[in-house]
Copies of this chain bind each other. A is one copy, B any other.
């Protein structure tokens, strides 16, 4: 059940079988399902658990008073909602299922137990939360500096790399269950312009995107077009040095 999470965290560290078991158990504790386009958490809610995404896509979003909406981040399998979110009194944004979604609710107690007893997992969770912050900063760069063309290309690169880190790609292909409206609300462009820009990306021979299936024909060319430098994802097996006393 926690295999996506484990796979992702093992980009950073090497787990013992006990570590893995602890994570598996955590993912089995309280499993919930959401329908597509259903709110998982609403602005104003008091967070009581950490959510581990087991399957499906979701996003954080915020709405302005006049209806403009911004998607602030995506959750894919293996992702966690902010650890220790309980520190805050109430949510300042909402989380929406973009597909049917399965999450495991991890209680505060369980998380504290892990923090105390499983230092390797704790370390890995720190890593994951720092990477999440790093992604959010990169989105700032994306929205602030990149052109429409680069922006969408960058988003697709990032999603591809993240999906690959949890094993949800085959070769140059992955599923991106987003509408053009979603993409627009992510990169701050109108739907019409997203449509035209996607056509440019297709026209440049960089991608195929149809029926929610993305194919990146030349990943290196795509990265260049997007000015995409994956170092902010910190996926380069950085912490394998922490390795593992196997127990």
Q: Which residues of A contact B (CB under 8 A)?
A: 60, 62, 64-66, 68-70, 72-73, 82, 84-85, 87-90, 92-93, 123, 126-127, 130, 132-134, 136-141, 143-146, 185-188, 227, 231-232, 234, 238-239
> With A92-B231, A130-B82, A133-B133 in contact, do A144 and B70 touch (Cβ < 8 Å)?
yes
Decide if B145 touches A64 in the complex (CB within 8 Å).
Answer: yes
19 CB < 8 A contacts A-B: A62-B141, A64-B146, A66-B227, A68-B145, A70-B145, A72-B137, A72-B140, A73-B137, A73-B140, A87-B127, A87-B130, A89-B238, A92-B134, A132-B133, A133-B136, A136-B137, A136-B140, A144-B186, A144-B187
Complex Cα distance A29/B84, Å?
28
> With A70-B141, A145-B68 in contact, do A130 and B239 touch (Cβ < 8 Å)?
no
Decide if A87 touches B136 in the complex (CB within 8 Å).
Answer: no
Which chain B positions have C-beta within 8 A of A72?
Answer: 137, 140-141
Neighbour of A92 across the interface among B127, B136, B234, CB < 8 A: B234
Complex Cα distance A3/B137, Å?
28
Complex Cα distance A90/B146, Å?
24
Neighbour of A87 across the interface among B132, B143, B239, CB < 8 A: B239
Complex Cα distance A143/B145, Å?
10
In angstroms, how far is the closest chain B Cβ from the Cβ of A239? 7
Smallest CB-CB separation from A86: which chain B residue? B126
Decide if A88 touches B133 in the complex (CB within 8 Å).
Answer: no
Decide if A88 touches B238 in the complex (CB within 8 Å).
Answer: yes
Complex Cα distance A64/B186, Å?
20
Complex Cα distance A62/B209, Å?
30
Which chain B positions have C-beta within 8 A of A188?
Answer: 143-145
In angstroms, how far is the closest chain B Cβ from the Cβ of A163? 20
Additional A-B contacts beyond A64-B227, A92-B134 (15; CB < 8 A):
A66-B227, A70-B140, A72-B141, A82-B130, A82-B133, A88-B130, A92-B232, A93-B232, A133-B133, A136-B136, A136-B140, A143-B143, A143-B188, A144-B186, A144-B188
Neighbour of A140 across the interface among B87, B132, B143, B239, CB < 8 A: B143
